[in-house]
Amino acid sequence: MRFTLLDRCILRPSSLRLVSSRRVRSPTRLGPIGLLICMTLTGLLLPLPGALSTDTGSPESGARSLSHLVYEYLGTEDPDRASLLLADILRDPRADLDTVGMMIKEGRPYGMEPIGVQPGLPVRVRDHNYRYGLFVPPSYRPTKEYALVVCLHGAGFTGDTYLERWQTRLGEDYLLVCPTLVQGTWWSRLAEDLVLATIHAVRSRYRVDPDRIFLTGMSNGGIGTFLIGVHHAARFAGLAPMAGGLDDVLFPFLENLRHTPVYLIHGLRDQVMPVELSRSVAKELTRLGYPVVYREHDRVHSLAGGHFFPREELPDLVAWFGSRRRDPVPTRVTVVRDATHLMAFAWVRIDATDRIAAFTERLIDRQDEAIVNRVYAKLDAEVMAPNRIEVRTRLVRRYTVFLNQRLVDLAKPVTIVTDGHVSYEGLVVPTVETLLRGARLRQDRGMLFPVMLTISVERGS
- The CATH homologous superfamily of the domain defined by 116-322: Alpha/Beta hydrolase fold, catalytic domain (3.40.50.1820)
Average predicted confidence (pLDDT) for the chain: 87
**Model confidence, pTM:** 0.84
Res. 319: pLDDT tops 70: yes
Q: What is the pLDDT of residue 365?
A: 64
Give the whole-number percent of the chain exceeding pLDDT 90: 75
More confident call, 107 vs 2:
107
Q: What is the pLDDT of residue 165?
A: 80
Average pLDDT over residues 198-222: 97
Average pLDDT over residues 268-285: 93
Q: What is the pLDDT of residue 364?
A: 61
Name the nearest CA neighbour of 217 among 166, 171, 150, 160: 150
> How far is residue 420's CA from residue 194's CA, in Å, rounded to a whole number?
40
Average pLDDT over residues 263-268: 94
Q: What is the pLDDT of residue 150?
A: 98
Confidence band for 26, pLDDT divided at 50, 70 and 90:
very low
Res. 366: pLDDT tops 80: no
Res. 100: pLDDT tops 50: yes
Res. 171: pLDDT tops 80: yes
Res. 393: pLDDT tops 70: yes
From-to residues of CATH 3.40.50.1820 in the chain: 116-322
Res. 42: pLDDT tops 60: no
